[in-house]
Amino acid sequence: MSAEVEQLPGQIPQRQSQKEATRQRVIASAHELFDTHGYQGTTIREIARHAGVSVGSVFTTFASKGEILSEVMQARLCPLYAEIDRVMPHLRGSTADRLRTMFAIHFEFEAKHVRLFMSHIAAAFDWTLPSTARPYGQTPRLQDAIRETLKRGQTEGDVRLDVDLQEIIDLLMSAYAWTYRLVITRDADVKALIGVMDRQIGLIAEGFSPRT
């Protein structure tokens, strides 16, 4: 006769604990590989080997490489947006100036792992991604932060009420992502990236500022 082992309240079943441990190893390994080899240069097989798990275990936990990248980025972007949420309400100056500060914080944060963030951007152009993946452009936090800044500008009178806020958001996010090409073409550092983005924000602001 087999005996049943009573599970104590709050106790995590062994299989669930092992699955979570595998998940964390895969995320940590993928973080390192995406950061060194980029998105296209990293394979599921390499992630599995680096994590010390089987390829089957990776696919049991994640639907695709894009979903793994989404999990990597979600984990590391949470502190960034916590900082954005803390800083933005206290900023003074025009809407353009507040947007410049927001993106400068982003550039400084991503400069530490620029290849990883460029992998996040690259995944946005992978048409094979499943719906569960969240590449650049499909994560709402940056869009929400920009929208709140623009709405504040409308309240304060330096953003026109008749503009389409989503179009402005799309322009700003496109400019931000496109600026990273300078890391490859010109070996640009964070100061240079911020300078370019500042000028582009100025051009976009000319379009959403009230007409005189």
Which tokens go with 109? 């944060």
Q: Do 142 and 105 meet the contact criterion of CB atoms below 8 Å apart?
A: no
Say which DSSP state 13 is in: P
pLDDT tens string, the chain, 212 residues long: the values are 444 445 555 555 666 788 888 999 999 999 999 989 988 889 999 999 999 999 999 998 898 898 999 888 888 888 888 888 888 888 889 999 999 999 999 999 999 899 899 988 988 888 888 888 888 988 888 999 999 999 999 999 999 999 999 999 999 999 999 999 999 999 999 999 999 999 999 999 999 999 87
Domains of the chain, earliest start first: 13-62 (1.10.10.60), 74-208 (1.10.357.10)
Comparing CA positions, the residue from 64, 43, 78 lying closest to residue 132 is 64
Residue in this structure with the two tokens 């010109």, named with its chain if needed = 186
For 133, counting Cβ atoms within 10 Å of its Cβ (0-12 exposed, 13-18 middle, 19+ buried), the class is buried
Give the predicted TM-score (pTM) of the model: 0.82
Comparing CA positions, the residue from 149, 121, 153, 159 lying closest to residue 137 is 121
Say what angle helices 114-123 and 65-87 make with each other, to 10 degrees. 120
Q: Can you tell me the distance from the alpha carbon of 85 to that of 100, in angstroms, rounded to the nearest whole number?
A: 15
